[in-house]
Amino acid sequence: MKTLNEYQMKANGFISEDGKKNLILNGVLGLSGESGECADIVKKHLFQGHDLNKDKLKDELGDVLWYIAETALGLGITLEDIANYNIEKLTKRFHGETFNKEDSINREE
């Protein structure tokens, strides 16, 4: 794969038949669960003395991406649409190409 959109189309083949009946609902519920698993890995590292399992976190981040791709498909948009929109939003929010504290504190939604 070379692009996010190619990934999205390939990932589409792994959606269950029941999941395809409601891509948005299945996608956001899956996204919630998988992002929770990411948080749990970091929580265990920070507060329970576990080593940070980067391979497991990478695995879970892949699952997050998969559910984002599915949700986007349900909305009729591509991952590249989302990525481009997000950069445009951040550029407007921070009035440029990088983070700055003042714009973060005084940001307009």
- Name the phi and psi angles at 95, rounded to 5: 50, 45
As averages over each run of 10 residues, the pLDDT of the chain (109 residues) reads 92 96 98 98 98 98 98 98 95 85 76
Q: CA dist 105 to 80, 86, 87, 98, 100, Å?
A: 28, 19, 19, 14, 9
Same domain, 43 and 64: yes
Q: For residues 6 and 92, what is the distance between their CA atoms, to the nearest angstrom?
A: 28
pLDDT at 49 (0 to 100): 98
Global confidence as pTM: 0.89
pLDDT at 8 (0 to 100): 97
Q: For residues 72 and 20, what is the distance between their CA atoms, to the nearest angstrom?
A: 12
Domain membership of residue 10 (yes or no) is no
Same domain, 34 and 59: yes
Neighbours of 15 (CB within 10 A): 20
Q: How many domains does the chain have?
A: 2
Same domain, 28 and 60: yes
Same domain, 92 and 72: no
pLDDT at 80 (0 to 100): 97
Q: Show the domain range for 85.
A: 78-109
pLDDT at 109 (0 to 100): 62
